[in-house]
Amino acid sequence: MRTAHTRAQTAMGVKPDEDAHESWGWRGRTLGQAVTTSHGPAWLRVACAPNGKAAATFWNGSIEAEKSLPEAIPRPRLRCWHDWNDQRWQYRAELYDRVTARPVATSPVLTTTPELPSDWWTAVRAMLDDMATVPTRRVTIHQGFLDHAMPRLLGTPIKTTAPRPWTTAHGDFHFANLCAPTLHVFDFEGWGLAPAGYDAAMLHSYSLLVPSAAARIRSELAHILDTPSGRYAELTVITELLHATTRGDHLALAKPLRQRASRLLGRPIPSRVAP
């Protein structure tokens, strides 16, 4: 990936900043770094996938977001991109505007309490409202997965369908993708249709290790989470994250996720995954 990033720098006519740090994505699938262009500072991100096996939703998400999302959604704008491949891998380099604000957290699972002003939460609520109304045929999570995984991971009885139509979501809404004190939102790879309240539920679920932060989210986003749709969205995200723990991801979240699901459903949650 470092070699690919260097190749992308040459192809796009940019130079790395002298003190630039590397920003790695999930399992090393992406690598980002601050660069300088003839028009000023920017951010260069390179993604990889095995040749011919890139999931279209995620591979094209950033480009489709740039074309489809309104300017009101605060995000680094995508300037251009460049594709190439070798015998085993395909690559995409994306050049973004660089923002000066820093992500609230360094990983999706929150471990410390963030100090966030009230106007930041106002901006989050506005962003979620704007995002929910974007028309799209993209899909962030599939109903078929929920029909199979919710009973398996959360037990029965459980209703696997949402109480209202799905809306458009960012799809990976956690504090490592959110900047402060000025809100900017990163990584629109997986945006698309999801149960209403999905982003708020994801922010809350990833924060369960820090009860004070989770309580703040429930307070600031109560109009979303304290509804039948919001509770279903929480169960959706909990299912998705519990499924991730079965693959070895975010293991520290497993117990608090089950505890939260038990509270939402009013019954115990299986401690072992059904076959």
Q: Which H/E stretch holds residue 58?
A: helix 56-59
pLDDT score for 259: 97
The pLDDT of 159-186, averaged and rounded, is: 97
Contact of 175 with 103, CB cutoff 8 Å: yes
Task: Provide the whole-model pTM.
Answer: 0.93
pLDDT score for 87: 85
The pLDDT of 116-131, averaged and rounded, is: 97
224-234 pLDDT, tens digit per residue, is 999 999 999 99
- How do strand 192-194 and strand 40-50 relate by DSSP bridges? unpaired
pLDDT score for 57: 81
pLDDT score for 274: 59
Give the pLDDT band of residue 185 (cuts 50, 70, 90). very high
The pLDDT of 215-236, averaged and rounded, is: 98
Q: How far is Cα 255 from Cα 242, in angstroms, rounded to an integer?
A: 9
* Dihedral class, residue 40 (left if φ above 0, else alpha if ψ from -120 to 50, else beta): left
